[in-house]
Structure 1
Amino acid sequence: MPYPEGHKLKVRGKIIESAAQAFRTHGIREISVPFIMKGAGLTHGGFYSHFENKEQLVAEVCRYAISDTIALLQKAADEETQNPKIHAVIHYYLSQHHRDRTEMGCILPALSSEISRASEEVRHIFTQELARMIDFISNIAEVDKSVGSALLSTMVGTVVLARSVNDAELSDSLLAAGKQQAKALLAA
């Protein structure tokens, strides 16, 4: 009996979602194809009917995860009624919730160090997606790309450091300082 129309695309999406969650939480190198497939509720053997290799999956995850993050940040911006929309984006991105929910968080702080050692194909896709994120931040903040790049860099760096320490008070103070500096950057 044949699968219904769109089945293969739906399965591919489940694999990408599983991989995105796993990569955000554990990194790329630590996660195996069988682990990803198990997370998608599938068997390992089916992976290669959707992807040529893990590198192709990583590239797809970069596209998916940035789109996911932009959607979350856009939702936060759309809910803001009194302050500039970028303030809602900054508060969401530099929140305890975003810091602590790595499985749903932005891939930039989670994967940048690994991507720097990835294949040229993956780095190319990551570069495109980073540029898309910079455009989103620049547009929502109504600033040029130079300021948008600096703002995003501040936010990503803050999350990296806040996730890296084992002192909750220091981590929270890093988030607070990052919010303050991000807003100061916009005011400059």
Structure 2
Amino acid sequence: MPRITKEDKARNRQNIVEAAGRMFRAQGIDSVGIADLMKEAGLTHGGFYNHFASKGDLAAEVCNASFAASLGVLEQVVEEGDDPAGPPLRRVVDDYLSVAHRDAPDGGCPSASLVTDAGRHNDTIQRSYAAGVEGYLAGFAAELAREQDGEITPQQARDRAVLLLSRLVGAMVLARAVRHVRPELSDEILRTCRAHALG
């Protein structure tokens, strides 16, 4: 039997994290079994504990990785600055509250997909989630201050960032919760919140 190299082990771990990220966001942490997760990652069930002490440890890493990727997108949009589609936060709101994001929780932002899991799980997962929320708040506050050209205080920018993130996450959670039985209501939630999220 060939030995697994350090590179193979790192690649296998990354495959587990990526598969878990998709599955946890789509189904919830508690709904995903280790056997199904490892199958999705293309690995054997028994190999899980070679990489993680527990599913909770994996969930914390998934939360960190998912927020890092999502915050990277936010940073990229902010770096691009204003464009014909509007200032960066307008574009973030439009993308976040889109039908495409609503319908693809497995690849979407963890702030809405993992919110209930974070509230139900251990401190390790909650710390990871809280760090992601703080990243969003810092990014939003900085961009709000820039877009207001220094006419608001840092505390006002922070307060507006808290409101904005709460509106985005709340709207997405509600829109997803009713999309199968009341698609018109789901669309209305997205449309209304897109129009008023920044106001």
Taking structure 2 as the reference length, what is the TM-score of the superposition? 0.85
Which position in structure 2 is the counterpart of 1:156? 169
Q: Distance in 2 between matches of 1:60 and 1:99?
A: 23
| SS state at 2:188 partner | helix
- 1:120 corresponds to: 123
Where do residues 43-54 of structure 1 align in structure 2 (5 Å cutoff)? 43-54=44-55
Contact persistence 2:81–2:87 (CA under 8 A)? no
Q: CA–CA distance in 2 between the matches of 1:5 and 1:28?
A: 28
Aligned amino acid, residue 160 of structure 1: V
| Distance verdict in 2 for CA 1:129–1:147, change over 3 Å | same
Give the C-alpha shift of residue 59 in structure 1. 0.3
Q: Of the candidates 95, 99, 110, which is equivalent to residue 96 of structure 1?
A: 99
The C-alpha deviation readout for 1:64-109, integer Å capped at 9, x for no partner, is 1111222334445538513211111000000001000111011221
Q: Distance in 1 between matches of 2:185 and 2:121?
A: 32
Q: Tell me what 2:18 maps to.
A: 17
Give distance in 2, aligned partners of 1:170 and 1:94.
14
**Cα distance in 2 between the residues matched to 1:139 and 1:160:** 25
Deviation at 1:4, TM superposition (A): 4.1
**Which amino acid counterpart does residue 24 of structure 2 have in structure 1?**
F
Is the 8 Å Cα contact of residues 33 and 47 (structure 1) preserved in structure 2? Answer: yes
Structure 1 stretches of 4+ with a deviation exceeding 6 A read: none
Identify if the C-alpha distance between structure 1 residues 61 and 42 changes in structure 2 by more than 3 Å, giving closer, same or farther.
Answer: same
| 1:62 and 1:107 in contact (8 A); partners too | yes
5+ residue gaps, structure 2, are 146-155
Structure 1 residue 136, shift from structure 2 partner: 2.1
Return the TM-score normalized by structure 1: 0.90
Aligned Cα root-mean-square deviation (Å)? 1.7
User: Which range moved further: 107-116 or 157-166?
Assistant: 107-116
Q: Which residue of structure 1 aligns with residue 193 of structure 2? A: 178
> How many pairs were matched up?
184
Please tell me the residue identity of whatever aligns with 2:140. I
Q: Conserved in 2, the CA contact under 8 Å of 1:94 and 1:175?
A: yes
Q: Rg larger in 1 or in 2?
A: 2
Q: For residue 121 of structure 1, give the secondary structure of its aligned residue in structure 2.
A: helix
Paired position in structure 1 for 2:83? 81
Of 95, 107, 110, the match for 2:110: 107
Give the Å deviation of 1:7. Answer: 2.1
Residue 6 of structure 1, CA deviation: 2.3
Describe the superposition over 1:121-175 as per-residue Cα deviations: whole angstroms up to 9, x where unpaired.
2112211121112212222333722211110100000001111112121111111
Q: What is the CA–CA distance in structure 2 between the aligned matches of 1:107 and 1:141, rounded to whole Å? A: 22
For 1:133 and 1:71, how far apart are their aligned partners in 2?
10
CA distance in 2, matches of 1:174, 1:136: 24
Identity, % of aligned positions = 31
Partner letter of residue 9 of structure 2?
K
